[in-house]
Structure 1
Amino acid sequence: MANIVRFEPMREMVRMSDAMDRLFENIYGRGWHDGDLFESPSVDMYQTENDIVVKASLPGMKAEDIQISVVGDVLTLRGKIDAEEEVKDASYHIRERRSGSFARSLPLPSAVQSDKAKAEFENGVLTLTMPKAEEMRPKTITVKAK
């Protein structure tokens, strides 16, 4: 005896959307990125009482090839790795090292003072420290007893 299955259009739309996401992940890697089909950098973002800190893994890059901008509450990292010259008279067995450009935009959790930001680049890791805007910093109010 066959069971009757109720047709649920929303469930079918979600299933189709998931299938499309998997298809594009298989073709392009971890999703769509600005610029070329270059892998977006892995990023950690956290905040302290006074700062927002972003760390991005950018192996193989030079500091002068990285651009950072903050517009409103969006941080954008851009960069480019030039392709190494292909070895002539060689048969590549594996060629996974990527070249090209990338752009990654990240929403900031609060307003920052971008003119006071500090960026350091060491061992392929960019560390960007941005002070929070004065109005976003926690204020302590002391209660006085009478």
Structure 2
Amino acid sequence: MALIPQLLESIFQPLSLNDSSTSKFVNPRVDWKENEDAHVFKVDLPGLNKEEIKVEIEEGKVLQISGEIKGVDLNKEDQKKENETWRRVERPRGKFCRRFWLPENAKIDEVKASMENGVLTLTIPKQEIKKPEVKTIEIN
């Protein structure tokens, strides 16, 4: 039975301060759905508030969502404490930037954004795209 504690100890080793599994860049999950009236984006950003998130539309075509998720940084002195051993760090941390090409029918002047329970919701209304007028030329 003494083998089991040793085995568990070897499996759950403390993370080193330079562990590469703690990413410096985060890729938040995004859902994008389209209905009759709008394009709706839902972005998982747990632990962030609206002041920490930047939403931009570049050149009327590209939606950009960016910011930084701050979590445990094992390289920072203020996060190292005596008599404390980190056993696992899985929550993501780091900067993020997600970009999406918006369809031609997106009304970028009427975008609405809200944040609730760590989920950013962007609603981009749709506009009707006028089809180009076609004039038939009679051939003589």
With normalisation by structure 2, the TM-score equals 0.64
Q: Percent identity?
A: 38
Q: Is the 8 A contact 1:118 1:128 kept in 2?
A: yes
State yes or no: 1:79 paired with 2:32: no
Q: Does 1:58 align with 2:52?
A: no
* Counterpart residue identity of residue 120, structure 1: S
Of residues 55-64 and 86-95 in structure 1, the stretch that sits farther from structure 2 once superposed is 86-95
Structure 2 contact 24–93 (Cα < 8 Å) conserved = no
C-alpha RMSD of matched pairs (Å) = 2.4
* Structure 1 unaligned regions, length at least 5: 1-26, 30-35, 137-146
The count of residues paired between Structure 1 and Structure 2 equals 104
Of 89-98 and 108-117, the range deviating more from structure 2: 108-117
Determine which of 81, 87, 94 is the counterpart of 1:88.
Answer: 81
Q: Distance in 2 between matches of 1:130 and 1:42?
A: 18
More helix by share: 1
User: Is 1:126 aligned to 2:113, yes or no?
Assistant: no
Moved over 3 A (4+): none
Structure with bigger RCO (C-alpha 8 Å, 6+ apart): 2
- Please state if 1:68 is matched with 2:55: yes
- C-alpha displacement at 1:69, in angstroms? 1.0
Larger Rg: 2
Q: Do residues 44 (structure 1) and 26 (structure 2) align?
A: no
1:104 Cα offset (Å): 0.7
Q: Is 1:101 paired with 2:95?
A: yes
- C-alpha contact (below 8 Å) 2:63/2:101 kept by paired residues: yes
